[in-house]
Amino acid sequence: MAAQKKNDLNEKLFNEGKIDERRIFTIVTAKRLPGGGYGMVGLGVNKDKLVVIDVISVKLSSIELGETLFEIPIKEMENIKGSYFVFYPFLKFTWQGGRFYFTAIGYKSGILEVIRK
């Protein structure tokens, strides 16, 4: 995916069908992904799924995204823990035996609210 300005990114992801009409998407740090992966990823919501997308680069005026790594049904997520605590915002959960751990979740992203419903 070509580099995008942050303002245009949510609209592009929506138009591509990667996120739904709520346009919930944020860049986070993956501390743990199944298989030992880690690094910057994008988290988005598409109906009843949490979407994890690889981030290739982040610059002041643009973000370049790679492939979709996971599409996780929210109802299948287990052991969910998360907080927007100002000094340590995070989200942890397991899915199909794999452990996921994300930090630096934006307070206004809406990710935790959707997962907690």
In this prediction, residue 105 carries a pLDDT of 79
Residue 1 lies in a domain: no
Reported as a single tens digit per residue, the pLDDT across 38-71 is 999 999 999 999 999 999 988 777 788 999 999 9
The confidence band for 6, taking pLDDT boundaries of 50, 70 and 90, is: low
Place of tokens 């997520």: 77
Tell me the CATH number at 98.
Answer: 2.30.29
The answer to whether 23 touches 11, Cβ cutoff 8 Å, is: yes
Reported as a single tens digit per residue, the pLDDT across 9-46 is 889 999 999 999 999 999 999 999 999 999 999 999 99
Nearest Cα residue to 73 out of 106, 40, 114: 114
Residue 112 lies in a domain: no
Residue 75 lies in a domain: yes
CA–CA distance, 27 with 83 (Å, rounded to integer): 16
Reported as a single tens digit per residue, the pLDDT across 94-115 is 999 999 999 987 767 888 889 8
In this prediction, residue 95 carries a pLDDT of 97
Q: What is the mean predicted confidence (pLDDT) over 80-89?
A: 85
Residue 114 lies in a domain: no
Residue 93 has pLDDT above 60, yes or no: yes
Q: How many domains does one find in the chain? A: 1
CA–CA distance, 94 with 52 (Å, rounded to integer): 14
Residue range(s) defining the domain that contains residue 102: 6-107
